[in-house]
Every structure is written in structure tokens, then in C-alpha cells.
Amino acid sequence: MRLVLLRHGESEWNSKNLFTGWVDVDLTPLGEEQARQGGLLLREAGLLPTVVHTSLLTRAVRTGNLALEAAGRVWIPAGRHWRLNERHYGALQGKEKREILQKYGEERFRLWRRSYDVPPPPADPDDEWQVVSDPRYAALPRDLMPRAESLADVIARLLPYWHDAIAPDLRAGHTVLVVAHSNSLRALVAHLDRLDREEVMALNIPTGIPLRYDLDEDLKPVQRGGHYLDPEAASPWAPRRWRTRGVRDRRSPTTLVDTRHLLELWSYQITKPDCDSAETRRTHVRPPRKGC
């Protein structure tokens, strides 16, 4: 059984360094190209999905569509569900990350972003970025509509969809593509690989690079951690701005285009890799190699 996970391409708010969560924003032109590149990787690997599942958010839906178009699989059945949505960032949604860091300090900032079971402050009912009235959630009971979520909350709300929709497709022999978000994919990987709390907190899913899992009859990974179709680009040593803003030129696998931010540094972000910001390690930071 074959499962492929794909994180959506760069969104408009990724490029502005804003907390996004459940706010529905589109892909940037670069994000669109990343999605296509992900589809090309699928096609080149002969890993052709027969069914796709995405969240209800435009950036994931469009990433799936663009990737499948590049892979020649736009016609396959699709399932879409709010349980695959990104983590709800509560009152932080729409806020600039640097602004939140400066206002609340590094300890609280990191607690809200990296802890396993501590959610950020909940969104007010009249918050401008609240999505209660969004028609895509019309059938969602109000008591299930989150106002803020921790990573543990994301795992808990994602698993019913895994058991009810994705797992049956896998058992039916489908090659399943799941296109979602940093935290919802972290939640799924945590379940597949039986990660402990510390492992989940350290886990990062790079943008636009398909992650393949071969599963046994019990839906357990044959190889823990799966296999990225572009391992070099998925490496935690690849600066995240390099990974998300430099798309590989298919004519030259070692050439990156659109390297606007390749050497940009961030005072508060040069720490261990983080799931939704441009971060590398404080120690042993490796510069890009020649030709990259």
C-alpha cells in the first residue's frame, strides 16, 4: 500500500510571515510552481496517485490540482475535509510572527508554536479572521469549530478522517495522495511513525516535496519516516528559504531559480528547524554549495 504526503506550496501569508491557520489564502506564483514541481516528482518516480485527499483550504486544494495536472492525474477521485485543515492558531491568525515575538517574548512565542499540548490564545468570536460564517463549514457543528489548537488537538481531530476515509482507500489498493499543511501532516506522520512527544515537536515537513510511505497490511510503515522523492531538498540542512523560495530548474537539477531570499538571515529564526517559519540550526549552519 502506497501513501504520499504533500505539503502545500508557498501561500500569500507564508511569504508575509503571518500566522495563517484556518484563514483561507491562496498560493503565490512560487507556490504554484512548487506544486507543479511536486507533481513532476510524482510522475518521474512513477508514483501515480489513484485518489487524493485535501483539506478545505484553497492553498491545499490548488496544490493538489496543480500537482495532479503535472502528473497527468487530474481526473482521479478527490476527498476534501476540514479535519485535514492546518492547525488553528487562534488569536495569532493574521498576525505577523515577528510582531508576536516582540510583544510576548521568546519563551511564550516558542511555547505557542512548538509545544505539544499548549494552544495559543483563542480567537474572539468577533475576530476579523474567524471563519464561523464561512460556507465551507456550514455543516460543521459549532462545538467542533476550534478557536485555537495545540498539535495534540490536531492529531485528535485528524485521526477520525484517517480511519474513516484514507485507511479504507489504502486497503482498497489505491495509491493515496494527501495534500495538506505543516501541522496536519505532522499529525499524520506522528500517527504513522508512532512518534513520541519530543519527536513530534522536532518534526518538520518541507514544502512541496512528496513524502512516500510504503505500508504493510496493518498500515504500518515499512520504513519509519518514509522517503522523500527529493531527499536533498528535503534535508533539514537545506535553509528553509532555499527550499521554499528556490524552485529546482528541471533542466539542471542542481540549479535553483528565484533565489531572492537565499542568503537572508533572521535574528530570531536562526534556531533549530521549525514547521512554519524560515529556520535553520544555530550551530553547524551550512552555506549553500557552489552551483546551488
Q: Report whether 282 contacts 270 (CB < 8 A).
A: yes
Residue 29: which residues within 8 A CB-CB, separation 6 or more? Answer: none
- 88 marked ligand binding residue: yes
Annotated catalytic residue within 33, 86, 149, 279: 86
Q: Report whether 214 contacts 222 (CB < 8 A).
A: yes
- 213 marked ligand binding residue: no
- The three grid cell numbers given for residue 17, joined into one nine-digit string: 510571515
- 55 marked ligand binding residue: no
What is the pLDDT, as a whole number, of residue 152?
96
Q: Among 1-10, 58-67, 195-204, 269-278, which is the least confidently predicted range?
A: 269-278
- 59 marked ligand binding residue: yes
Q: Which CATH class is domain 2-237?
A: alpha beta
Band of pLDDT at residue 127, cut at 50, 70 and 90:
confident
Q: Which residue is it, cell 516582540? A: 102
- Would you list the domain boundaries of the chain? 2-237
Higher pLDDT, 243 or 157: 157
Sheet holding 51-54, edge to edge: 78-80, 51-54, 175-180, 2-7, 211-214, 227-228
- 113 marked ligand binding residue: yes
- 268 marked ligand binding residue: no
Q: What gap in Å lies between CA 9 and CA 68, rounded to an integer?
A: 13
- 20 marked ligand binding residue: yes
Closest residue by Cα to residue 224 from 194, 203, 184: 194
Band of pLDDT at residue 187, cut at 50, 70 and 90:
very high
Tell me the average pLDDT across 131-158.
Answer: 93
User: Among residues of the chain, what percentage have pLDDT more than 70?
Assistant: 80
User: Distances in Å between the alpha carbon of 8 and those of 4, 33, 183, 212, 291?
Assistant: 13, 11, 11, 15, 27
Q: What is the pLDDT of residues 40-94, one digit of tens each?
A: 999 999 999 999 999 999 999 999 999 999 999 999 999 999 999 999 999 999 9
Flag whether pLDDT at 241 surpasses 90: no
Per the annotation, the verdict on 8 as an active-site residue is yes
Closest residue by Cα to residue 88 from 162, 29, 30, 140: 140
- 12 marked ligand binding residue: yes
Annotated catalytic residue within 8, 53, 174, 181: 8
Per the annotation, the verdict on 279 as an active-site residue is no
Q: What is the mean pLDDT of the chain?
A: 83
Band of pLDDT at residue 236, cut at 50, 70 and 90:
low
Q: Among 22-26, 140-144, 239-243, which is the least confidently predicted range?
A: 239-243
- 13 marked ligand binding residue: yes
Half-sphere exposure of 145 (CA within 13 A, CB side): 17
- 8 marked ligand binding residue: yes
